[in-house]
Amino acid sequence: MTEATRRERLRAETDREIRRQARALLVEHGRDAVTLRAIARELGITAPALYRYYDSREDLLHHLADDICTDLAVELNAGLVDIPPDDVTAQVYAVCRGFRRWALAHPQEFALVFASTETTLGTCGPDGRSQVGDQFGRVFLEVAGKLIASHPMPHDRGDRVPAELHADLEVFQQVLVDTVNQRGVAVDTGVLDLYAVYHITQSWVRIYGHVALEVFGRFPFAVANPEPMYDSMLAEILGEMGFPTPPP
Amino acid sequence: MTEATRRERLRAETDREIRRQARALLVEHGRDAVTLRAIARELGITAPALYRYYDSREDLLHHLADDICTDLAVELNAGLVDIPPDDVTAQVYAVCRGFRRWALAHPQEFALVFASTETTLGTCGPDGRSQVGDQFGRVFLEVAGKLIASHPMPHDRGDRVPAELHADLEVFQQVLVDTVNQRGVAVDTGVLDLYAVYHITQSWVRIYGHVALEVFGRFPFAVANPEPMYDSMLAEILGEMGFPTPPP
DNA sequence: GGCATCGGTGAACGGTGTTCACAGAGTTGA
DNA sequence: TCAACTCTGTGAACACCGTTCACCGATGCC
């Protein structure tokens, strides 16, 4: 059964260990502490050996970012298992709160994945291939998709979104519909008007904005109690989509 | 008149040159390229000499961040001079668009100032003293303040914001009122209800969120035309505050 | 003028990413 | 079985980096 040769197994194990130690260094001492030599030291090998696994430090950081996205997706999905499948509102709360909780608990990872310029973390983003937040984005998209599928949109309000945005939003609309369909729920493009797509985009702007501001401490005043502010924002977002505000 | 001694003048000149070169390195090659030795090399001096001016590399980066905030404030203010003083809506557009334009043109500076964790850029943020975005924040606060002073708020809607937020928002409320008063416009705390303060906070969340997402390329889909999306968001924000939507 | 202070130097220490020739173990095929 | 080959790791080396320290010359002050 185990087709893998001995060498392949050892290699895979070493690779996992490299990422594990790199991750630990990132968490405990920040991005600049993720050093090839430090990683090698922890593994009891020498730094050049790491080049058998990654092209460069930057390459390693890139793979690390991918790992982080995957783990975040797993964590967000795990927080979803106790929610009744038909209570989409509760699912939205769970995912959004999970995202904030994770970001605050893992600020270094958050900064690496969600606040890195192209020059400091290779080419990524949704322009070309291999977008960093791919695995992670899927979680959000799925919940957003379910939200749509479960809820009849008020009615056609496409004319409320500026014409210049139509092209972009239609792309995202297709992504959303595809994501939902991929989960087995058959949905037509028609149920998701452009204004809803626009609103989802704006929701991501607000969720990301709040979390990043909190992680980086850039609110314009000292917020002693950010959690109810976040919850209030979520309630507002859901309210604008026609959902009632549930308890925490 | 020139009280400064020769040594002091030379010192000030060297200091300016240090920051200038550090800034150039940051802009052109990113944060990691801001190296004491590289700066010294450009100035024709040796690296240890820089320790006569800054305690460490981190200290220099911190001062650099302050400079950037000041410059950004100057730039935003400069974009305000051509706007009629009574057209507050136009002022809001000018400042918000200026912020986005600056961030996109200076991604490295934006990342340093607005997306740095405490461990990577010393202690800052609105918790203790010397908040990084102080100079910059003032510009936004001023415009927001004018917006309020010039516009009668609908009416008391303080009950629409959750009780847990009242304490935090009251602090910000006072900051806003003080900022406006400091500009000569006498304003009472009464004209600015808590819901308006909450809305201003949310506006900052959205503005920051959109700009950061765009700078870091983390929108969930490839946005080919982000500018109208930003403008549309601004119009929405202003609309929710009871302002009409003006042309660009 | 004497003297303290300030700004800059050069050497040094320990750290970094990266390259390269080399060695040893694992694998493969005749 | 054993030679050939591939893969993983090594050690030395290069060019950088932040930081410390003793030293030195010019500047400024009494």
For A119-163, the pLDDT digits (tens) are 666 544 444 334 555 667 777 887 787 777 777 665 566 667 899
C-alpha to C-alpha distances, A74 to A25, A68, A85, A161, B25, nearest whole angstrom? 21, 10, 17, 34, 39
Give the CA diameter of chain B: 63
CA B120 to chain centre: 19
Assigned domain for B94 exists: yes
Assigned domain for B61 exists: yes
Does residue A47 sit in the same domain as residue A69?
Answer: no
What Rg do the C-alpha atoms of chain A give, in angstroms? 21
Does residue B208 sit in the same domain as residue B138?
Answer: yes
**Relative orientation angle of helices B107-114 and B88-105, to the nearest 10 degrees:** 100
Does residue B147 sit in the same domain as residue B226?
Answer: yes
Question: What is the number of other CB atoms lying within 10 angstroms of the CB of residue B69?
Answer: 22
- Top pLDDT among A207 and A130 is at A207
pLDDT interval class at B129 (50, 70, 90) = very low
Q: A153 near A196, Cβ under 8 Å?
A: yes
Q: Residue B163: which CATH number? A: 1.10.357.10
The reply to whether A29 has its C-beta less than 7 Å from any atom of strand C is: no
Chain B positions touching A132 (Cβ under 8 A) are 218
Alpha carbons B213 and B207: distance in angstroms, whole number: 10
In this complex, the residue of B117, B208, B215 whose CB is nearest that of residue A107 is B117
Q: A204 near B220, Cβ under 8 Å?
A: yes
Assigned domain for B233 exists: yes
In this complex, the residue of A171, A175, A209 whose CB is nearest that of residue B205 is A209
**Relative orientation angle of helices A163-182 and A194-216, to the nearest 10 degrees:** 90
Q: Looking at chain A, which residue has its C-alpha nearest residue B206? A: A206
Domain that holds residue B83: 57-240
Q: Looking at chain B, which residue has its C-alpha nearest residue A134? A: B220
- Report the length, in residues, of chain B: 248
The rounded percent of chain A whose pLDDT value lies above 70 is 83
Does residue A137 sit in the same domain as residue A183?
Answer: yes
B35 pLDDT more than 90: yes
In this complex, the residue of B172, B205, B218 whose CB is nearest that of residue A114 is B218
B247 pLDDT more than 90: no
Which chain C nucleotides are covered by protein, judged by CB under 7 A?
6-11, 15-21, 26-28
A240 pLDDT more than 60: yes
Q: Which two tokens stand for residue A26?
A: 């990132």
Strand C: which of residues 141-200 in chain B lie with Cβ below 7 A? none
Assigned domain for A87 exists: yes
- At which residue do the structure tokens 């490299």 appear? A18
What Rg do the C-alpha atoms of chain B give, in angstroms? 21
Q: A181 near A209, Cβ under 8 Å?
A: no
Question: What is the number of other CB atoms lying within 10 angstroms of the CB of residue A35?
Answer: 14
Assigned domain for B246 exists: no
B164 pLDDT more than 70: yes
Q: Which two tokens stand for residue B36?
A: 């004491």
Task: Quote the pLDDT of residue A243.
Answer: 81
Separation of B48 CA and D27 C1' (Å): 20
Check A218 against B165: CB less than 8 A apart: no
Q: Read out DSSP for B168-210? A: HHHHHHHHHHHHHHHTT----GGGS-HHHHHHHHHHHHHHHHH
Chain segment B65-85, per-residue pLDDT in tens: 999 999 999 999 899 899 998
Check B217 against A125: CB less than 8 A apart: yes
What mean pLDDT is predicted for residues A20-46?
A: 97
Chain B positions touching A224 (Cβ under 8 A) are 167-168
Check A125 against B228: CB less than 8 A apart: no
Alpha carbons B90 and B234: distance in angstroms, whole number: 11
Check B218 against A118: CB less than 8 A apart: no
Give chain A's count of helices (H) and strands (E): 9, 0
Separation of A50 CA and D6 C1' (Å): 18
Name the DSSP letter for residue B132: T
Q: Looking at chain B, which residue has its C-alpha nearest residue A117? A: B216
Find the helix or strand (DSSP H, E) in which B8 lies: helix B6-29
Task: Quote the pLDDT of residue A127.
Answer: 40
Assigned domain for B247 exists: no
The residue type at B107:
P
- Top pLDDT among B185 and B31 is at B31
Does residue B63 sit in the same domain as residue B48?
Answer: no
What mean pLDDT is predicted for residues B92-96?
A: 93
pLDDT interval class at B55 (50, 70, 90) = very high
Does residue B13 sit in the same domain as residue B92?
Answer: no
pLDDT interval class at B221 (50, 70, 90) = confident
- Top pLDDT among A116 and A142 is at A116
Separation of A7 CA and D5 C1' (Å): 15
Q: Residue B6: which CATH number? A: 1.10.10
pLDDT interval class at B127 (50, 70, 90) = very low
Q: B62 near B117, Cβ under 8 Å?
A: no
Q: Looking at chain A, which residue has its C-alpha nearest residue B124? A: A217
Alpha carbons A144 and A79: distance in angstroms, whole number: 16
Separation of A6 CA and D2 C1' (Å): 21
Q: A209 near A203, Cβ under 8 Å?
A: no
Rounded to 10 degrees, the C-alpha dihedral A191/A192/A196/A198 comes to -160
A199 pLDDT more than 70: yes
Assigned domain for A247 exists: no
CA distance A34 to chain B (A): 13
Alpha carbons A85 and B168: distance in angstroms, whole number: 36
The rounded percent of chain A whose pLDDT value lies above 90 is 58
Half-sphere exposure of B210 (CA within 13 A, CB side): 27
The residue type at B34:
V
Task: Quote the pLDDT of residue B211.
Answer: 98
The residue type at A178:
D
- Tally the domains of chain B: 2
Task: Quote the pLDDT of residue A1.
Answer: 44
pLDDT interval class at B128 (50, 70, 90) = very low
CA distance B118 to chain A (A): 7
Does residue A178 sit in the same domain as residue A127?
Answer: yes
Does residue B125 sit in the same domain as residue B107?
Answer: yes
- Top pLDDT among B104 and A137 is at B104
Nearest nucleotide (CA of B11 to C1') = C7
B52 pLDDT more than 90: yes
Assigned domain for A70 exists: yes
Does residue A81 sit in the same domain as residue A188?
Answer: yes
- Top pLDDT among B131 and B24 is at B24
Give the CA diameter of chain A: 63
Separation of A37 CA and D5 C1' (Å): 30
Chain segment A173-182, per-residue pLDDT in tens: 888 888 878 7
Does residue B111 sit in the same domain as residue B15?
Answer: no
Alpha carbons B173 and B196: distance in angstroms, whole number: 9
Task: Quote the pLDDT of residue B124.
Answer: 43
Does residue A110 sit in the same domain as residue A14?
Answer: no
B130 pLDDT more than 60: no
Does residue A97 sit in the same domain as residue A199?
Answer: yes
Nearest nucleotide (CA of B15 to C1') = C7
C-alpha to C-alpha distances, B190 to B140, B155, B158, B173, nearest whole angstrom? 21, 10, 11, 10
The residue type at B123:
T
Task: Quote the pLDDT of residue A181.
Answer: 80
User: Which of A130-144, B186-200, B227-241: highest mean pLDDT?
Assistant: B227-241
Check A208 against B213: CB less than 8 A apart: yes
Q: Which of A133-147, B93-107, B226-240 has the lowest mean pLDDT?
A: A133-147
